[in-house]
Structure 1
Amino acid sequence: MGVIENAVNDCIKVFFSYWTGGDRLFNGSSPVGLDLDLNLDLSAVFSRVDPRFLSVTIDASLASEERFMLLLRSQRIRTLAKPLSPAFLRFGGTKQDFMVFSPQRSQQLDSDESCSSIRLPWWLEQRLTEDLTQQQLILLKEEQQNKYKRVHFTELTVDLLHSFSSCSGLDLIFGLNALLRTADNSWNSSNARSLLQYCQSKLYNMSWELGNEPNSYEKKAGIRVDGHQLGVDFTHLRKMLSESKLYRDSGLYGPDVGQPRDHKLDLLESFLRSGAEAIDACTWHHYYVNGKDTSLEDFLDPDVLDTLAFKTNEVLEKVQQESPGKSVWLGETSSAYGGGAAGLSDTFVSGFMWLDKLGLGARLGLDVVMRQVLIGSGSYHLIDDNLDPLPDYWLSVLYKKLVGPEVLKLLAVSDSGRSKKVRLYLHCANRKSYTSGAVVLIFMNLSRKPARISLPALVSSSTVDAFVLQSIEPGEEGLKSRSVQLNGVLLKMIDDKTIPELSGAQLPPAEHLKLPAYSLGFFVFLEAQAPACS
């Protein structure tokens, strides 16, 4: 027994030495790529995001055949969804504008069903996951040919979505079809009214959107809807909601425009002029690169990551100009458009884009960021086709557990100026996990060399909880892994009802912390006693 205890103690000593920068890597011919000094302001909150800041989507294409919606009864998926709460769950995307509600009274769930009694037989779950893979190929062909089939959905789709979201602690946002038009090209609201009446009869608390990426309607459906008309349509929907006792105060979000190209925001500008008062938040979509021709280098390129700031500032400036004080959300976002980049968007390297988007988005002033997608559709999912969590899932759960809504000011400088390969953000720690005054440093090292950060006196006397995510394989080869390890331990589900406890490695106070090559994660300073976080 003594031998084992000594071995464990030796491992702990090595671990502390490694992470606090006391090992031989930092002596003499150290291969450290960058040495950074941190300047922190813990006195005041810089900005504050919605508690549901990190939110998720389910693409409407999952309902292309209604039987696939039954996957939302999977115990495994529900287990994985719960740690993402609190969050919005957006049901929308390209397919929403080709969906029509077709009630069939026989197609309903038992309203007395409890969350604990919901089950999906294993054989049906296996069959659905196998068939979904083939269905996605069909949907991809639709997208490539720009020929979208109309989809009819029944009460069952709505019941399954509401059951899943409420049992998982997520707030459902349902995307309505905006391409149902009248002869004078205004929105035909009759189908939406039918859906609203059903949802009200079931007392379903939910929020709403109308349409997806209206700037591409002409390309996808041969229908042109300008921003002014879209604003009129949203105002009409808001009036419908106000006539409902249940939905008079429900959220309405839009217009879910695609990211600005060539600095053009004409549709958004004209929409805000006619429809800003109807919406609770202005939503837009962002992707860094084209999934068809991107590369590993793009996912690690600081200049690519910085494009988010340019696009976001354009949108924020326009919204502030037309509707001062209006909340701005990323209503749909991921790494690469066109369904993601296979072998990149679903691997460890995607985490750099995702975590930087969360850190930078919060600092810039976005209130909510909705990740495309939780399950199904393309290569940018958090849960794969076998219902196994991918690296970005574990990163998202850690973010939820550790990061509070309060954004703090931080400046990191090196001898050569500001760093681009090391990305750092600072928040108050989540008070559900940590005591008042604790702060969390979000970090990414995009370099193949380790880096070191020098801590100011404000936090160098604090104990640190370290949550360091790395690939299970070293170097660039590991960047394309679909697995991830936390502090050296591989992350995987224990069983369908249980995910592992995501514990940090507690480090003693130190003046330096090390960032391994190609790593990302969080350092929580337990005794920072930040006035902004008290």
Structure 2
Amino acid sequence: MDLKCIFSLAILMITLYALHWIGGLLKKCNYNQCPWGKAGLLNLVRIFYSFNPLRIKVGGSLQDQVVYGVGGVKNCPNFMKNEYNLFGFSQGYLPMERWDELNKFFNQTGVKVTFGLNALLGRNRSQIEKGLWVGDWQSQNARDFMKYTISKGYKVDSYEFGNQLSRAGMGASVEAEQYGKDILVLKNLVKELHREPKTQPKVLGPSGYYDVKWFNSFLKILGHDFVDGVTHHIYNLGPDPSYLNQVAQPIKLRFCESGGALHGGAKDLSPTFADGFWYLDQLRMASTYNHKAFCRQTLIGGNYALLNTTTSIPNPDYYGALLWHRLMGSTVLFVTQESNPNFRVYAHCTKKKPGISIIFINLSKDSSFNVTLSNYEHQSRNLRSTDVMKPNFEFRDSKDREEYHLAALARNIQGQIVLLNNVLMVPTETFDILTMEPKLVNASTPISIAAHSIVYVTIRDFQAPACA
């Protein structure tokens, strides 16, 4: 399944891609490219520790074709190419030996796990409407899988029901009423098998593209008691800043998955420095609308991975994600900037108090900006990108601030080499990530944001009432 990184403003979540965690060696290809390679996670312990606390989601495109090798299921072949089946693959199996291996890894790294269940078992393709699957969900295989998981003492934090099965689904969809009815079955199954409320896994869904009518029908059926988190997908990468703003409406839900571009990502963009302009802006948007988690497609596998699929060396977005994880707290501070659409500024309380952390994203290839921080006493909240930022905070002293300047080597934003404060970010031979130390700058001087750069700034002695 897919490796996806989920942020809850400070929490990373990752998802595994079905072809690989099941152990198959098939190629998943889109647009005449096969970027998944032999993506896997079992040798990436150090990366996981970097993002502690960490959540992992086991799920993705092929999860609704996975049968679990437990109970009455004895034969466990790998996925096979089959052009007549969903996504061009046959049904596949997850052997419990592989599930054991993964849980050994999960326990070693201390992650929390979200497992994406097959929500198409028991259904059939509609003879009337293309792409629609009909019939009741068959829960026995999921029951056997959960019982095995419980018997082994494995901890699953949450179950997500199906992948992209809402009305605007990819390849398959289920009517909202039927989906709602079946997720109630799942919720009751979880309650039955986990008698202690404190240890019951959460139930999430629908993990699909946002469709107003479908989502409203789904939520009306469920009410507020049977789903613990509403999740959806969005891929909104585009050529100008207006595409970044389009996410504002659907993102008012919970977030599940995004990778910018569909089907493995954009080969010449997703693994490059330029992708960070989209990625970090979307993390901010999710934060603003009080999302509990943001799921990045992917950690490893595909062009949109945080790690190179062949070498496991971090792609540029990894460094931006790690700084977000370390610096940006869960409280979002309101800042507006209207004078230049290519200059985007967002502020949070710092993850480690006291102070605030700000991220500046300069989409312009030609213009740099100097921003001066100053105290003021009236209630206007405004940012003038040309020269002055006037936040509604109290500025006490003139201590040094911490700055992290991310830029592409030789200003080649479609390259994969990142500079942090003019230092090349290249892992050591033992795969250790270089220490990401800030540059200390006198707080009374302007903050300089170069063209096509991303800058994090932490100011420990800014006293924002919301951060107390």
- TM (norm. structure 2) is 0.81
2:338 corresponds to 1:371: no
Counterpart contact for 1:359–1:442, Cα < 8 Å: no
Counterpart contact for 2:15–2:56, Cα < 8 Å: yes
Counterpart contact for 1:53–1:405, Cα < 8 Å: no
- TM (norm. structure 1) is 0.72
1:533 shift after superposition: 1.9
Counterpart contact for 1:467–1:522, Cα < 8 Å: yes
Counterpart contact for 1:373–1:381, Cα < 8 Å: yes
Counterparts of 1:75-154 in structure 2, within 5 Å, are: 77-103=44-70, 146-154=87-95
Q: Counterparts of 1:453 and 1:188 in 2: how far apart (Å)?
A: 58
Residue aligned with 1:235, SS? helix
Describe the shift of the 1:447–1:203 C-alpha distance in structure 2 as closer, same or farther (beyond 3 A).
same
What is the aligned counterpart of 1:215 among 157, 166, 173?
Answer: 166
Larger of the two Rg values belongs to structure: 1
Match of 2:323 in 1: 398
CA displacement, residues 182-209 of structure 1 (integer Å, 9 cap, x when unaligned): 5871110011011101100111111211
Residue aligned with 1:473, SS? helix
Structure 1: give runs of 5+ residues left out of the alignment.
Answer: 1-48, 108-134, 290-297, 317-327
2:197 corresponds to 1:197: no
Letter of the 1:237 counterpart: L
Match of 1:72 in 2: 41
2:439 corresponds to 1:481: no
Counterpart contact for 1:217–1:225, Cα < 8 Å: no
Counterpart contact for 2:71–2:141, Cα < 8 Å: no
Match of 1:124 in 2: none
Residue aligned with 1:97, SS? helix
Letter of the 1:444 counterpart: I
Describe the shift of the 1:420–1:282 C-alpha distance in structure 2 as closer, same or farther (beyond 3 A).
same
Residue aligned with 2:186, SS? helix
Describe the shift of the 1:420–1:356 C-alpha distance in structure 2 as closer, same or farther (beyond 3 A).
same
Match of 1:443 in 2: 360
Q: Counterparts of 1:397 and 1:445 in 2: how far apart (Å)?
A: 19
1:69 shift after superposition: 8.9
Match of 2:349 in 1: 428
Match of 1:39 in 2: none
Structure 2: give runs of 5+ residues left out of the alignment.
Answer: 1-6, 26-36, 125-133, 376-393
Counterpart contact for 1:345–1:380, Cα < 8 Å: yes
CA displacement, residues 60-114 of structure 1 (integer Å, 9 cap, x when unaligned): 332353479994321xx11112212223211111100011111399x9xxxxxxx
Q: Counterparts of 1:158 and 1:440 in 2: how far apart (Å)?
A: 40
Counterpart contact for 1:185–1:225, Cα < 8 Å: no
Match of 1:254 in 2: 205
Match of 2:3 in 1: none
Q: Counterparts of 2:259 and 2:102 in 1: how far apart (Å)?
A: 22
State percent identity of aligned pairs.
27
Counterpart contact for 1:66–1:153, Cα < 8 Å: no
CA displacement, residues 24-60 of structure 1 (integer Å, 9 cap, x when unaligned): xxxxxxxxxxxxxxxxxxxxxxxxx946544332233
For the aligned residue pairs, the C-alpha RMSD in angstroms reads 2.9
CA displacement, residues 149-179 of structure 1 (integer Å, 9 cap, x when unaligned): 2111111332233233333332110000001
1:406 shift after superposition: 1.1
2:187 corresponds to 1:238: yes
Match of 1:455 in 2: 373
Q: Which moved more, 1:53-62 or 1:228-237?
A: 53-62
Q: Counterparts of 2:274 and 2:285 in 1: how far apart (Å)?
A: 17
Q: When you count helix as a share of all residues, which structure comes out higher? A: 1
2:272 corresponds to 1:347: yes
1:387 shift after superposition: 1.1
Q: Counterparts of 1:247 and 1:338 in 2: how far apart (Å)?
A: 40
Counterpart contact for 1:466–1:504, Cα < 8 Å: yes
Describe the shift of the 1:438–1:217 C-alpha distance in structure 2 as closer, same or farther (beyond 3 A).
closer
Match of 1:380 in 2: 304
Letter of the 1:274 counterpart: I
Letter of the 1:210 counterpart: F
User: How many residues are aligned here?
Assistant: 413
